Amino acid sequence: MSDAVIAVDNDYIITSWNRAAEKLYGWTATEVLGKNIYRVLPTTYLNGASEQDAIKAMQSAGKWVGEVAQKRKDGTEVIVEACVSYLRNEKGNIIGMVSINRDITEQKRYAEERQRLYEQLQHLQKMESIGRLAGGIAHDFNNILAAILGNVKMATEKTTDEKVTKYLSRIKAASERASALTQKLLGFARQGKYVPAPVDLFDCVRNVVEMLEHTIDKRIEVVVEPASMPTKVIGDRTQLEQVILNIAINAVDAIMPTLEKKQHGVLRFAWRSGVREEIKDVNKHLLLDQPYFCLAISDSGIGIPKEIQKKIFEPFFTTKEIGKGTGLGLAMVYGIMQNHHGAVYVESEVGRGATFELYFPQVLESQTENGVKETYINQKLMSNKRVLIVDDEDMLRELLTEQLTEAGYAVCEASNGVEAIEVLKRLQAEQVRVDAVVLDMNMPKMDGAKAFAEIRALFPRMPILIATGYAQDEMVQKVVESGANGVLVKPYDAEALFEKLNEILKVRA
């Protein structure tokens, strides 16, 4: 029989102990017979049950079934499903109880692990949905901001009234703050400006530490451990330093409340090779053909409660006082790490600090050899050229048309990809040359990626600038790899547009 069978009398003295019980608990029958069951098997009721619940069930139904955790002879824990019923003599009087115990330790651990993975998967799906929503909001917001900033610039250039100039300056400052906020949203949504290059993460840590050491409390010791492996990655240096800085600032904030009592805190940067299996299980975007390493940023702060740990990467979630945090710092960390084929994982206990583990794919030699193409911008503007503006936002399209016209460009417009192709075909038939196209990525009828492919098929040498306030980085990179001549990230100013146009038109000329 595989189940342990244990009998006790009315005083809980063990009267029977079978071989399966010997195997399960490590005690022989000789060692336990005649002893109190609770001294031999310290027992904890699970799933919210208690000894009182078991007694009530026995009294009403004559049986209790439930799960308990018990200690073996060697001190290790075993989880069993116990089925307890009364023992009666020939007269029907209760003379004790018998418990049939089945070992479900592995079964429970498997179920808990499966539940944990399921919850992590649900969390990832939730974060992805929130990311899409955040990206969509940022798209609309960036188009509005581009129109506001552009019109403010034009109005500023045309007015001589100092009071009006002051008002316009305030509008510009507020709009730029809003633009910074949308960039944080796009960072979370993995849709921000992304400039990949070989980056040594150790240098990034050093830069962040140099910045922090001049601003944080002198009682906080910053420790940067040496790395025993290469720490180069392919990524955007600005975004990677932002990730490290955001986590480090949160760590400092967590340490501050402990300094009054301890008078000392530690912020530590440590390195290790590889990636945990459970991280791989729930982060399917990781690169299977590349080795990974981990940057662990730990602090001696107040720690993060378990119930909050699942929420900390959600945008606008913050435990800080009103006005002291946007709730976008860790959301941006999450998005940037996903964008770099990496992962972020947090371990923390209240009162024992926190550790944020950042997993990165190590750069391969072939990637560093390819390098990153650099562009050099000639500041001189080129006029007397014709540009096609393709954007579904009427206000933004009209603004760009006015700015380019004032700079001496001839301008034609289209509100979507289908219309853009029709305009190009019509102008070609009329023998009117179009020198460049400024193409929005997110449009109705035909999006920017599809329009780019069709324009290039019809006009292989046509210079095309991609304008994006909302687009998955992968999509933008694919279009760039397919031959796009540059990327403008909304909201951009007129000078940025002129410089890009100047650059590509000089090449074409």
The whole model's pTM is what? 0.42
CA–CA dist 223, 491 (Å, integer): 39
For position 85, what pLDDT does the model report? 94
Angle at 440 between CA 435 and CA 443, to 5 degrees: 130
- In order, the DSSP letters of 413-447 are EESSHHHHHHHHHHHHHTT----EEEEESS-SSS-
Helix (H) or strand (E) holding 21: helix 19-25
Looking at residue 413, its amino acid is: E
**Which pLDDT does position 469 carry in this prediction?**
67
Read off the amino acid at residue 368: T
pLDDT (tens place) for every residue of the chain, 509 residues total: 689 999 999 999 999 999 999 999 999 999 999 999 989 999 999 988 888 999 899 988 889 999 999 999 999 999 999 999 999 999 889 999 999 999 999 988 888 887 777 666 666 565 565 555 555 666 667 777 777 887 888 888 888 888 888 888 888 888 777 776 666 555 544 444 455 678 899 999 998 888 787 778 889 999 999 988 889 888 888 788 888 988 998 899 899 999 988 899 999 999 999 888 777 776 766 877 788 999 999 999 999 888 787 777 776 556 555 444 545 567 778 888 887 888 888 899 898 999 999 999 987 555 444 443 333 233 333 457 899 999 888 888 888 888 888 888 899 999 899 999 999 999 999 898 999 999 988 788 888 888 999 999 999 989 999 888 654 456 777 888 888 888 887 777 778 888 888 888 875 55
Give how far Cα 345 sits from Cα of 28, 315, 407, 507, Å.
45, 16, 50, 46
Spatial contact of 393 and 361, defined as CB atoms under 8 Å apart? no
d(CA 458, CA 187): 35
Q: Please state, in angstroms and rounded to a whole number, the distance separating the CA atoms of residues 401 and 264.
A: 60
How far apart, in whole angstroms, are the C-alpha atoms of residue 225 and residue 282? Answer: 28
Domains of the chain plus CATH, in order, are 4-103 (3.30.450.20), 113-188 (1.10.287), 197-370 (3.30.565.10), 386-508 (3.40.50.2300)
Angstrom distance (rounded) from CA 296 to CA 291: 17
Instruction: Please give the Cα distance from 334 to 345 (Å, whole number).
Output: 9
Beta bridge partners of 294: 272, 359
State the Cα–Cα distance between residues 223 and 308, nearest whole angstrom. Answer: 27
**11-14 contact pairs (CB < 8 A, 24+):** 11/36, 12/36, 12/37, 12/38, 13/37, 14/40
As a whole number of angstroms, the distance between CA 240 and CA 329 comes to 13
pLDDT in tens, 406-434: 888 899 999 899 999 999 999 999 898 99
Please give the helix or strand (H or E) that residue 19 lies within, else none: helix 19-25
β-pair type (386-390, 436-440): parallel
Q: What is the pLDDT of residues 116-134, one digit of tens each?
A: 776 666 665 655 655 555 5
Checking DSSP bridges between strand 436-440 and strand 464-468, what pairing results, if any?
Answer: parallel
CA distances from 472 to 97, 397, 418 (A): 65, 22, 22
